[in-house]
Structure 1
Amino acid sequence: MIYSVDAYPGRSVSVNGKSYLYFGGTSYLGLQTDEAFKELFVKNLKRYGTNYGASRKANVQISIFDEVEAYLSILTTSQSCTTLSSGYLAGQLVAQTLNTNDHELFYAPESHAALQIAPKQPYANYNDLEQAVRAHLKRNKSIPVVFIDSIDVLGSGYPDFTAIRRLPLEDVILVVDDSHGIGVVGNKGAGSYTRAKQLNARELIVCCSLGKGFGIQAGAILGTKKRIQQFTNTDFFGGASPASPAALATLVQGETIFDEKRILLQSNVRLFLDSLKNPKRLHYLDTYPAFYFSDSQIASFLEKNNVLITNFNYPNTASPLMNRIVISAAHEKEDILYLAELLNLH
């Protein structure tokens, strides 16, 4: 069922005058409703304005872009970085730039639509992906480019990237979508770049949304200086309006807030798991705040008891129903204990 609301859903949401606890979405650190974060954002709005409509190639350039990109490079340990207005745009810039006769694109199971170029589709499983990549290397000179998502609750992704290790990575350009990782996992929210680098692929490129972990409308691409320069020299990059300077400034200046929220988030996740009688019926990664299950009756039971979770067909209407519980830093202890109590009853 679709619910229409007129305010951002934080730890709770009002639907037709009825209040629900909300355990959905992707606001892992609860920043969008955090007063200190909003005050910082408003301060930067007053300085930078609501939008920057010029090209990044224009003769007048705002220095905050270079500052943020240097900050993200240091945070993630990547050589270089560029930012865009969304994670989707970042993924498409990477995919479309690499979609040449010199490359062959391969999509891992469950890889995000932001990475995809039609008519390419994700492989059903990693065995099929491995066979396809190895077969391509035997009969073609073009370089295989493999796209994966960093966060996989079935255990194929961060932190060990177990399934992808089967591939001949020394011959592969590996593109990792870290939209659900950066800001949330890794040292100070650095995401998966350092762990993915340990796979020793021929080349590593990481793209991501900055909206889920850092609470701002922006995207980023991380990689070598040479590769990032290639991306920024495209008409695609020059023709797209950049991310809001106010949002990017808030990312750089909000480090203390992010650190505090990550500590609170981990405390909330641990409380939730410790309060469940049977946590194994949920699919999840240790310490990660998203929990999946297949029994849609659970979602209905929670709704009847004034709890809403993420529950819709994703990524399109023909896809299976996604049931996803998200614990955030915005939730209070009583919220989490109530949710756990309901799950223990069902």
Structure 2
Amino acid sequence: MHERLSAPPAPLAWLDVNAQARRTAGLRRSVRPRPAVDDLIRLDLAGNDYLGLSRHPDVIEAGVAALRAWGAGSTGSRLVSGTTELHAELETALAAHTGFAAGLVFASGYAANLGALTALVSAGDLVVSDEHNHASIVDACRLSRAEVAIVPHLDVAAVESALAGRSYRRAVMVTDSVFSADGDLAPLAELHAVTRRHGAVLLVDEAHALGVVGARGEGAVAAAGLAGAPDVVATVTLSKSLGSQGGAVLGPVEVRDHLIDTARTFIFDTGLAPAAAGAALGALRLLAATPALAARSRARAGELARLAEAPAPAAAVVSVVLGEPERAVAAAQTCREHGVAVGCFRPPTVPPGTSRLRLSARADLTDDDIALFATALAAARAAQPAGTPAGRS
């Protein structure tokens, strides 16, 4: 008599267990495809289109012109067939606008951070990283194989201690300039003084500063007087203020040359699509011709922060801390029901107990938009359970 075969093991059964644990903690996420025109949403404060350029006719036309000239894709990696004259023009324009000697375009801001850090340090080196840095920086630190010292947020003394208290071959201090969840600004001048004192490089992620910080939207590094310094490197994204897609590393010519030889996310990734490069270049030209866009975005962010009783923002990000995930989800849903889309950040994006609404100001917001947000915020506050009122941080 044959033995009955037992059911095969379910090697992915743990996924259901983990999903249920996240559901219980209020941390389940879902993808919500949006239509080209959403009749339910009259105001978008969730995206990162800080200058309102993603739908600007000139930016769209620049992308379409690149699409017609170069085709839908770049056709290969940057070192094979993926570099067009348009990529070179964009790199030159980015470097000129931000005050750096040279630039190198990557397929995304994430890839730019991975490429830059892993090319600048390796085993035997040291990376000092702010604890609130973006996930792309965290992953870059892990992939670098260097020793990583994570320091408290905005703590210059801790950076000094980390650099002074270890032996290393080379060192990099890496930080966001404007932090994506908190909206605060790193003390770049002080950090540079420390890194220079210890012979380290300062690597700054300008994703949320380009287009918003500085008189011309040149970014926080330039605004601090550090652009072009031989020991400062910056990364940027093209998907926020420039309303397109992609990323870039900016710095000395020698850094660009080194990245071309060694940065794996440059060498092995398909080059940025021409339409994205063209649109970003169109947006950059608009920003250069209309520098007041940066100030408008910051002014509107200040208005949103005052209404939400949130800390004054350094750029376009307004952080409204509510506490537990359920509170943030409920507030975001109430805003949506009133026609306003807002970001909802929960762990692991932010630390436990600091779930929040994240508002993204835009230069093209109108007074009517601000009034609509005030109405939605009042409704969200009224719907909150007893405890910390919605909109206080």
CA contact (8 A) 2:76 2:270 kept: yes
CA contact (8 A) 2:83 2:271 kept: no
How far residue 187 of structure 1 moved from its aligned partner, in angstroms, is: 4.2
How far residue 183 of structure 1 moved from its aligned partner, in angstroms, is: 2.5
Query: Secondary structure of 1:70's match?
Result: helix
Hey, what does 2:222 align to over in structure 1?
194
How far residue 326 of structure 1 moved from its aligned partner, in angstroms, is: 1.4
2:340 is matched with which residue: 289, 293, 307?
307
Query: When the two structures are superposed, what TM-score results if normalisation uses the length of structure 2?
Result: 0.73
Hey, what does 2:255 align to over in structure 1?
227
In the alignment, structure 1 residue 40 sits paired with structure 2 residue 68: no
Q: Distance in 2 between matches of 1:310 and 1:338?
A: 16
Hey, what does 2:270 align to over in structure 1?
241
Q: 1:333 to 1:264 in 2, by over 3 A?
A: farther
2:142 is matched with which residue: 107, 113, 118?
118
Extract unaligned runs of 5+ from structure 1. Answer: none
Q: Distance in 1 between matches of 2:178 and 2:350?
A: 22
Query: Secondary structure of 1:294's match?
Result: strand
Q: Which of the pair has more CA radius of gyration? A: 2
1:142 is matched with which residue: 169, 178, 186?
169
Q: 1:269 to 1:336 in 2, by over 3 A?
A: farther
Q: 1:268 to 1:335 in 2, by over 3 A?
A: farther
How far residue 292 of structure 1 moved from its aligned partner, in angstroms, is: 0.8
In the alignment, structure 1 residue 70 sits paired with structure 2 residue 99: no
Q: Distance in 1 between matches of 2:30 and 2:124?
A: 44
Hey, what does 2:299 align to over in structure 1?
270
Hey, what does 2:178 align to over in structure 1?
151
Q: Distance in 1 between matches of 2:224 and 2:304?
A: 33
How far residue 19 of structure 1 moved from its aligned partner, in angstroms, is: 3.7
Q: Deviations over 1:150-205 (max 9, x none)?
A: 11457442xx5366367343322110001111123224332223245539977111
Query: Secondary structure of 2:133's match?
Result: coil
Query: When the two structures are superposed, what TM-score results if normalisation uses the length of structure 1?
Result: 0.82
Query: Secondary structure of 2:61's match?
Result: helix
Q: Distance in 2 between matches of 1:65 and 1:256?
A: 15
Aligned residues: 333
In the alignment, structure 1 residue 205 sits paired with structure 2 residue 233: yes
Q: 1:243 to 1:61 in 2, by over 3 A?
A: closer
Query: Secondary structure of 1:189's match?
Result: coil
Identity of aligned residues (%): 19
CA contact (8 A) 1:145 1:175 kept: yes
Q: CA RMSD in A?
A: 3.3
Query: Secondary structure of 1:106's match?
Result: strand
CA contact (8 A) 1:170 1:202 kept: no
Hey, what does 2:320 align to over in structure 1?
293
Q: Deviations over 1:34-76 (max 9, x none)?
A: 3332233212211111111222222785222222211112111
Equivalent position amino acid for 1:284 in 2: A
In the alignment, structure 1 residue 51 sits paired with structure 2 residue 78: no
